[in-house]
Chains A and B, each alone.
Chain A
Amino acid sequence: MSEIISKLEMKKITKKFPGVLACNNIDIYLKSGEILALLGENGAGKTTLMNVLFGLYQPEHGKIFINDKQVIINSPSTAFKYGIGMVHQHFMLVPNLTVVENVALGLIGKRIFKLDLNKVRKRIEEVSKEYGLSVNPNAYIWQLSVGEQQRVELIKVLCLGANLLILDEPTAALTPQETDELIVLLKQMAEKGRSIIFISHKLNEVKAVSNRVCVLRNGSLVYEGKTQKHSVATLAEKMAGREIYMPTLKEKSQANSPILEIKNVFAKGNMGTMALDGLSLTVSKGEIVGIAGVSGNGQKELADVINGISHIERGKILLNSKNIANLAPQQIINKGIGYIPEDRMHEGTIPSFSVKENIIMKDYNKKPLSKKMFLQNSIIEKYSQKLISNFDIKCPDNKTMCASLSGGNVQKVILARELSRKPKMLIAAYPIRGLDLGAAEYVHEQLLEARSENVGILLISEELDELLDICDRIAVIYEGKILEILDRDIATKTKLGLLMAGIKNEKKAI
């Protein structure tokens, strides 16, 4: 194992990308046993800074010191040599290899022939015993849940002898219980003298886990100090550079006439198994119904079948009491369903098309935007300009490619398109995933406004805060069924978390 890192310093780190100053003269330091939270909105430079530390990027300026000695880290293997390990946001695991093989990859180095998997297996067992990280070393990665894969990532970096761990948004795909377990684990590691850098924009977690916090904004370090001095609200303010009020639902929903009724729907997923297994759910006009659940429990398939992207085997989907199941997507669009898809870059927009073209994507063939098959350019021009200003889309002009916009602005393009069509029902899948607080605030305001205009909204999310903020009712999806529906006044994170894990025996207590 490499030398203990009792002190790490990054001094005056500057990293440029074409047209962007990702890190501007940043200084951070870290001592052994410390958990440092690196906070910032998207594009603030957190991940770039950490990729510099991990040797994936070379900075234009700046030096790194370990225990007061300058080091040059020009590749991930050098980083490992110094005892720096990183758990990436998108797990760096090879799905068609086993756990042992994934760990072995990091240990074989330049070797060509000898592959002693038994030795690696022993090492994994030691590490998992020391930290209580249980995992089956012979399982293939693709067989494991997201939480288990994260455990494998941690075991991997620990087996490779990391004394300093960088965790890039480690809780993004975890259930609340898994997140709590991770926080306990990280504290344990810190107690044993390891140091941890925790990147996140979930402020509750930052509060719970870290000793110190560094806030980045637009590539510069804007704040550094002890975590305990701050509340979640003041941290949010430091991050965004202004005060943020996440909108929440005030008045109770009055509406009780159903707009969307899903009755006992069965549908197959990608793997050919029943991804929706007799799912029933009703959404009323002027109501936001949340779908909570660990990803992979049928959320994607639910959104797909409502929008006609994939077919159902059995059951009914009624919009205004008329069956829309298995209609073509175009027909469903025309009946008044709006859709904010999960993958805004590939499903929600065509990245290489302009903002203008993406805005008219669903109405290009209707009057007044087109007449006798010809696009009416002057009308389209005015229409797109109006939506760009109404929805505050920040782009150089309406001919800008969507691919060059930030995630928040792409989401605004989608919102503009979907909401200005005056839908009766809106399906929103993970609408604030990956967005920074300012953009998330905006999306929620828009959803609440649509609700007040009597639109029924189905909100699929894995962020419980989001659901608790703006939903009238929260349904928990588990293995393709709705396990339980909770009204907002009785829903809590703990209850939802248990339900998301498939545990329903608290039912009586609820």
Chain B
Amino acid sequence: MILDFIIGIISAGIPLAAPLLLAGLGEMFNQRAGVFNLGVEGIMLMGAFVGFLVVLTVGSPILGLLAAIAVGALMGLLMAVVTVKFKAQQGISGIGLFMLGWGLSGTLFRVYIGGITSITGIKPFSFPLLGKIPIIGEIFFQNNILVYIAFLLVPISWYVLNKTAWGLKVRAVGTNPQAADTLGIKVERIRFQCIILGSMMAGLAGAYLSIAQTHIFADNITAGRGFIAVALVYFGRWKPAGIMWGTLLFSLAHALQRSIQVYGINFPYEIAVIIPYLLVIVVLALSYKSQLLGPVALGKPFIRGSRE
């Protein structure tokens, strides 16, 4: 019974981590380049809606995911133009982007779909043989393809950031853009690239919720996951592995509170629901705060020749 309970939590928690991980890794690229994108939530909502709409009308989950990525890229482009090109204040612009995505996805949903409709979407599959291993199979080898992609992106992001020329430029641009500029690196171009990449991943994360997780779309389907992803980037100290542990912590807590409700344990569910969110706040408050290794130029627009 206890074992079932624990396995249940872990096997439910891992797929819940995937959208947070996709959005969090995307936001990490944003922030590493010095741009703070609070609009992740809005991008996820648009990704979730557009992906859902495409699957509903065309029937192809792949096309749905691609459409969500494309919408993410467009919203990222908007964010980049506003904050990098026109040097607007990043926090406010991000909130604006969130409001836009939230309002637009809700409105379009009411206009074109209206009520709860479900789609087939992407289903989990069981690995031959591996999926049949007791416990391990249930936890690790019975998920949908996007879960594996999300977790594979952890080492890939680490490699890109730390071992490629582009990653080096990203790290420099987020910490000392003036220095990067004097070395001939196009600061604004790198920031555009990072914002768009991060937003594409946010779009995909949104589509995960509608296409792979719930198979429906509802207004505000993301329920704050975009903001949690931003918080988890801080929690993970801008490192892919750190972000991964953060998403697992949050999603396991999420799975735990669900299990408490499902198993009918005598615990007020109102309190259970807030556990994961509370946990993030507590961990953020207690986590080690040194800017030393983080992107110091985070949030500051780059203006060539300006003196600090």
A interface, CB within 8 angstroms of B: 51, 54, 56-57, 75-77, 80, 86, 88, 90-97, 101-102, 104-106, 108-109, 111-115, 142, 160
Contacts and interface: CB of A to CB of B under 8 A. Distances in A.
> When A and B form their complex, which 9 residue pairs have the shortest distance between CB atoms, in order from nearest?
A77-B184, A92-B179, A106-B183, A108-B165, A111-B165, A76-B182, A115-B165, A94-B176, A94-B172
Contact of A113 (B164, B185, B304): B164
Nearest to A80: B184
Contacts of A113: 164-166
Contact of B185 (A51, A101, A105): A105
Given A80-B184, A93-B176, A94-B176, 13 more contacts: A77-B184, A90-B308, A91-B179, A92-B178, A92-B179, A94-B171, A95-B175, A105-B169, A105-B185, A106-B184, A113-B166, A115-B163, A115-B167
27 contacts: A54-B182, A56-B304, A56-B305, A76-B184, A77-B183, A77-B184, A80-B184, A86-B182, A88-B182, A91-B179, A92-B176, A92-B178, A92-B179, A93-B176, A94-B175, A95-B175, A95-B296, A96-B292, A101-B168, A101-B171, A102-B179, A106-B183, A106-B184, A108-B168, A111-B165, A114-B165, A160-B183
Given A96-B292, A115-B168, A105 B175 contact: no
A160 B171 CA distance: 20
A510 to B, nearest CB: 39
Contacts of B181: 56, 76
B159 to A, nearest CB: 10
A274 to B, nearest CB: 18
A56 B182 contact: yes
Contacts of B165: 104, 108, 111-115
Nearest to A107: B183
A112 B182 contact: no
B111 interface: no
Nearest to B292: A142
B293 interface: yes
Contacts of B178: 90, 92
Contact of A95 (B167, B176, B305): B176
Interface in B222-267: none
Contacts of B183: 76-77, 80, 92, 105-106, 160
Q: Which of B183, B294, B296 has the most CB of A within 10 A?
A: B183
Interface in B165-210: 165-169, 171-172, 175-176, 178-185
Contact of A112 (B166, B175, B308): B166
A108 B168 CA distance: 9
B180 A94 contact: yes
A45 B261 CA distance: 71
A75 B181 CA distance: 9
A109 B184 contact: yes
Contacts of B180: 94, 105
B188 to A, nearest CB: 12
B175 A97 contact: yes
B169 A108 contact: yes
Contacts of B182: 54, 56, 76, 86, 88, 92
A115 B178 CA distance: 22
A64 B181 CA distance: 21
A116 B271 CA distance: 53
Contacts of A91: 179
Contacts of A90: 178, 308
A51 B175 CA distance: 21
Given A57-B305, A76-B184, A96 B293 contact: yes
B193 to A, nearest CB: 10
A96 B297 CA distance: 12
Interface in B135-183: 163-169, 171-172, 175-176, 178-183
A88 B166 CA distance: 25
A96 B171 contact: yes
B164 A112 contact: yes
A90 B175 CA distance: 14
Nearest to A104: B168
Contacts of B166: 111-113
